[in-house]
Amino acid sequence: MSRHHHRRSTCRLCGGTHLTMVLGLAPTPPANAFVPAADLDKPQERFPLDLFFCHDCAHVQLLDVVDPRVLFENYVYVSGTSPVFVRHFQAYADDVIARFRVPAGSLVVDVGSNDGTLLSCFAKAGMRVQGIDPARDIAADATARGIPTIADFFTPALAAQIRTAKGAAKVVTANNVFAHVDDLTGVVDGIRAVLDDDGVFVFEVSYLVDVFEKTLFDTIYHEHLAYHSVQPLIRFLAANGMELIEALRVDSHGGSLRGVAQLQGGPHPVGQSVADAVALERRLGLDKAETFLDFARDIDERKRQLGDLLRGLKACGKRIAGFGAPAKATTLLYHFDLGPDIIDFIIDDSPLKQGLFTPGMHIPVLPGSAIAEKKPDYLVVLAWNFAQPIMEKNAGFREAGGKFIVPLPQVEVV
Of the two residues 16 and 68, which places its CB atom closer to Zn ion in the complex?
A: 16
* Among candidate residues 298, 297, 296, 318, the one with its CA nearest the CA of residue 309: 318
- Cβ neighbours around 392 below 10 Å, total: 9
Q: For the CB of residue 56, give the shortest distance to Zn ion in the complex, in Å.
A: 5
Select the span of 12-20, 28-36, 197-205, 326-334 touching Zn ion (CB under 5 A).
Answer: 12-20
Q: Are 212 and 291 in contact (CB under 8 A)?
A: yes
Of the two residues 54 and 174, which places its CB atom closer to Zn ion in the complex?
A: 54
Q: Please tell me the distance from the alpha carbon of residue 408 to that of residue 414, in angstroms, as a whole number.
A: 13
Q: Please tell me the distance from the alpha carbon of residue 194 to that of residue 101, in angstroms, as a whole number.
A: 19
For Zn ion, the binding residue among 4, 5, 6, 16 (CB under 5 A) is 16
**Does residue 307 belong to the site contacting Zn ion (CB under 5 A)?**
no
Of the two residues 13 and 408, which places its CB atom closer to Zn ion in the complex?
A: 13
Q: For the CB of residue 11, give the shortest distance to Zn ion in the complex, in Å.
A: 3
Of the two residues 6 and 235, which places its CB atom closer to Zn ion in the complex?
A: 235
Q: For the CB of residue 219, give the shortest distance to Zn ion in the complex, in Å.
A: 20
3-state secondary structure of 264: coil
Of the two residues 2 and 20, which places its CB atom closer to Zn ion in the complex?
A: 20
Of the two residues 14 and 239, which places its CB atom closer to Zn ion in the complex?
A: 14
3-state secondary structure of 204: strand
**Does residue 353 belong to the site contacting Zn ion (CB under 5 A)?**
no
Size of the site for Zn ion (CB under 5 A): 8
Residue type at position 359? P
Consecutive H or E run containing 238: helix 230-239
**Does residue 11 belong to the site contacting Zn ion (CB under 5 A)?**
yes
Q: Please tell me the distance from the alpha carbon of residue 378 to that of residue 404, in angstroms, as a whole number.
A: 6
- Contacts of 389 by beta carbon, 8 Å cutoff, 6+ apart: none
Q: Please tell me the distance from the alpha carbon of residue 22 to that of residue 12, in angstroms, as a whole number.
A: 16
Select the span of 16-24, 121-129, 193-201, 252-260 touching Zn ion (CB under 5 A).
Answer: 16-24
Q: Are 363 and 329 in contact (CB under 8 A)?
A: no
The conformation of residue 216, written as its DSSP 8-state character, comes to -
Q: For the CB of residue 301, give the shortest distance to Zn ion in the complex, in Å.
A: 29
H-state helical runs in 38-167? 68-72, 83-99, 117-124, 136-144, 156-166
Q: For the CB of residue 412, give the shortest distance to Zn ion in the complex, in Å.
A: 37
Q: For the CB of residue 231, give the shortest distance to Zn ion in the complex, in Å.
A: 11
Q: For the CB of residue 367, give the shortest distance to Zn ion in the complex, in Å.
A: 45
Of the two residues 202 and 247, which places its CB atom closer to Zn ion in the complex?
A: 247
Select the span of 4-12, 37-45, 333-341, 354-362 touching Zn ion (CB under 5 A).
Answer: 4-12
* Among candidate residues 76, 167, 93, 184, the one with its CA nearest the CA of residue 130: 167
Residues 214-233 that bind Zn ion (CB under 5 A): none
Residue type at position 92? Y
Q: For the CB of residue 59, give the shortest distance to Zn ion in the complex, in Å.
A: 4
Select the span of 9-17, 101-109, 313-321, 358-366 touching Zn ion (CB under 5 A).
Answer: 9-17
Of the two residues 13 and 387, which places its CB atom closer to Zn ion in the complex?
A: 13
Of the two residues 226 and 257, which places its CB atom closer to Zn ion in the complex?
A: 226
Q: Please tell me the distance from the alpha carbon of residue 36 to that of residue 135, in angstroms, as a whole number.
A: 18
Q: Are 376 and 181 in contact (CB under 8 A)?
A: no
Residue type at position 77? Y
For Zn ion, the binding residue among 14, 76, 123, 125 (CB under 5 A) is 14
Q: For the CB of residue 16, give the shortest distance to Zn ion in the complex, in Å.
A: 4
Q: For the CB of residue 154, give the shortest distance to Zn ion in the complex, in Å.
A: 23
Of the two residues 13 and 97, which places its CB atom closer to Zn ion in the complex?
A: 13
Residues 36-95 that bind Zn ion (CB under 5 A): 54, 56-57, 59
Strand arrangement, sheet containing 19-28: 19-28, 47-54, 60-62, 226-227
Q: For the CB of residue 203, give the shortest distance to Zn ion in the complex, in Å.
A: 18
Q: Are 48 and 27 in contact (CB under 8 A)?
A: yes
Q: Please tell me the distance from the alpha carbon of residue 282 to that of residue 139, in angstroms, as a whole number.
A: 40
Residues 154-193 that bind Zn ion (CB under 5 A): none
Of the two residues 59 and 170, which places its CB atom closer to Zn ion in the complex?
A: 59
Binding stretches for Zn ion (CB under 5 A) = 11, 13-14, 16, 54, 56-57, 59
